[in-house]
Structure 1
């Protein structure tokens, strides 16, 4: 097929429009690389002494549905099911008046599978749920 300069066949136009439409519609659905090791806390341990997660401040609570004997919930009832998997962690973000610890906070940190690169943009997302029996501050 011989083309004149500056003319694009209709078949190529249609293909380009369809490709652009698919990219725009479904491009955001493709997950990026997750750099967090054990993002669902499945490899975390109740003591936080080994594994990819570490307790930095306070005593985060460890909950595992299949191994309740390992839970470190400090006498609290289990608040909810994990969003995914069997394990989740509970942390105090602002001191709970129930225990007279008004300025206490708990932190966790995790290792990454590779270092972050300078100048790159990263997106962080997580699921948060208030413990219904002790939370007094809305999110």
Structure 2
């Protein structure tokens, strides 16, 4: 299967060195250990998906296909703690299929104040493509769209009592690093209603920038 998988490690959301994301490195889980795929929304506290996509969580306690550092996507150490999350941001074989992560903030952001949003990503070893389209939006509450496809901002704006603001991360280079974690960041000015953050690829396949790259297979022993 041809696939483009981005593995998230750690989401940090800082102001004056204070992290305002709940459970930012996916360490707090509702079971002793997550050992199955597609369990982020069911097992990781304060985190969910934003559509019907099957976002994964990987952990060093698993010692199998969702382990750390070895798993079904290859090999990657955790940057902080023992866990990280994994999302499909593009799949050549599944048109417009997307996975997202959606997390809760510790407190509503203060209107007019500047905040830095920062998180780390690493491309999975088995990926055949790299992309540029990794962005985020803040919202007043959690909403899960009833689709497996890319969720457009226009679609999400139609939900009742749901307010969001979309932020694009400008980047000239493709996110193609399979060996290390790279930092993505953006400074935003709060609107005053932000309680949740959602990260992913919000573009349709026809609108994204991608490049084919060499696969680096890594079998799980």
Name the counterpart of 1:48.
Answer: 41
For the pair 1:122 / 2:115, whether they are aligned, the reply is yes
More strand by percentage: 2
Gap change, CA 1:47 and 1:131, over 3 Å in 2: closer
The alpha carbon displacement at 1:136 in A equals 1.2
The alpha carbon displacement at 1:82 in A equals 1.2
- Separation in 1 of the partners of 2:122 and 2:47? 19
- Separation in 2 of the partners of 1:90 and 1:112? 20
Cα contact 1:53–1:108 (8 A) shared by 2: yes
For the pair 1:83 / 2:79, whether they are aligned, the reply is yes
Name the counterpart of 1:59.
Answer: 54
Give 1:1-139 correspondences, 5 Å limit.
32-44=17-29, 46-49=39-42, 51-57=45-51, 58-68=53-63, 71=66, 76-94=72-90, 96-97=91-92, 100-137=93-130, 138-139=174-175
Higher Cα Rg: structure 1 or 2?
1
Name the counterpart of 1:6.
Answer: none
- Separation in 2 of the partners of 1:93 and 1:47? 16
Cα contact 2:47–2:104 (8 A) shared by 1: yes
Render the CA deviation track for 1:88-116: whole Å, top value 9, x for unaligned.
0111122x12xx11311111111111111
Gap change, CA 1:121 and 1:44, over 3 Å in 2: farther
Gap change, CA 1:107 and 1:62, over 3 Å in 2: same
More helix by percentage: 1
5+ long unaligned stretches in structure 1: 1-29
The alpha carbon displacement at 1:120 in A equals 0.8
5+ long unaligned stretches in structure 2: 1-14, 31-38, 131-173, 176-221
Pairs aligned (count): 105
